Structure 1
Amino acid sequence: MRSILTLLLLLLIALSAQAEVKQLDNAQLETLLAEGVPVVDIRRAEEWKQTGVVQGSHLITFFDAAGNYDARAWLTQLAPIAGKDDPVILICRTGNRTGIISQFLDQQVGFSRVYNVTKGITDWIARGYPVIAPE
């Protein structure tokens, strides 16, 4: 939890003139998926197994169960999927963690086309959208 708070504090301090993170609902997510925009599910493996994942999602855990993270390692895994000028969608359970990471990508790393699924996979499932078992 302390790591999450530290990251939040850094984000608030570093607000700069980067592109704004775009907040998505399920209909917008479905549209961007159809356009081929990559989705990165940042949850942990046990969470993927519990709910399933959006088909085609790239499964790259950001925070461990204790709230710790290795941003550099995560960015290395993200690099083949999306660069700073490429669109990328982030999804987690409810949109809280991806809200933090979206701001990090926008404000600290300089990504210009970050989309955050505001209500996460739980709302996607609740509204009857399909999920698959993680690979």
Structure 2
Amino acid sequence: MKKIITLLFVLSISIFAELKNEYPTQKLIDSKIPIIDIRTPPEWVETGLVKGAIPIMFFDERARYDIPKFLNTLNKKIDTTKPFALICRTGSRTKILSEFLSSELNYKVINLLGGMVYIKAKGLPIEAYKK
């Protein structure tokens, strides 16, 4: 079942999707566009979060996910009628999720390429994760 859903994520990309793939920059961080960190709590503790990011786990440590739970939390934390960005460790998880959110829900999503690895390499601001 998980493979089918993952395949549907990938196949659901449409020409009408509102999706941007871009590397994180200080300008983006300063723009106040919400950045959603979809990594796991142990990852947040280990590396911290990009400054101002909102942690909402999507895939757990066993690669399981709960789409309704994630969407419920996301819609409580941000205005999904406006653009927002997704970040993970390297951009692999956000690629799948951003394609789904933009094509299926018509959200205006920015997939942050390179993820936290890129953020750290570029010296962009990181803050400690606070539970």
What TM-score comes out, normalization by structure 2 length? 0.90
Other-structure match for 1:67: 63
Other-structure match for 2:8: 10
SS of 1:75's partner is helix
**Considering only aligned residues, what root-mean-square deviation do their CA atoms show, in Å?**
1.6
User: Structure 2 unaligned runs (5+)?
Assistant: none
Other-structure match for 1:25: 23
Q: What's the % identity of the aligned pairs?
A: 35
Tell me which of 30, 38, 41 is aligned to 1:42: 38
SS of 1:94's partner is coil
Other-structure match for 2:116: 121
Runs of 4+ in 1 over 6 A off after TM superposition: none
1:80 positional shift:
2.6
1:54 positional shift:
0.8
SS of 1:106's partner is helix
1:132 positional shift:
1.1
CA contact (8 A) 1:84 1:110 kept: no
Q: How many residues align?
A: 130
Tell me which of 95, 98, 103 is aligned to 1:107: 103
Tell me which of 90, 107, 113 is aligned to 2:86: 90
What TM-score comes out, normalization by structure 1 length? 0.87
1:103 positional shift:
0.5
User: Structure 1 unaligned runs (5+)?
Assistant: none
Other-structure match for 1:53: 49
Counterpart residue identity of residue 85, structure 2: I
Check 1:55–1:18 CA distance in 2 against 1; reply closer, same or farther (3 A cut).
same
CA distance in 2, matches of 1:12, 1:26: 23
CA contact (8 A) 1:38 1:81 kept: no
Deviates further, 121-130 or 70-79: 121-130
1:44 positional shift:
0.3
Query: More strand per residue: 1 or 2?
Result: 2
CA distance in 2, matches of 1:14, 1:127: 32
Tell me which of 74, 77, 80 is aligned to 2:76: 80
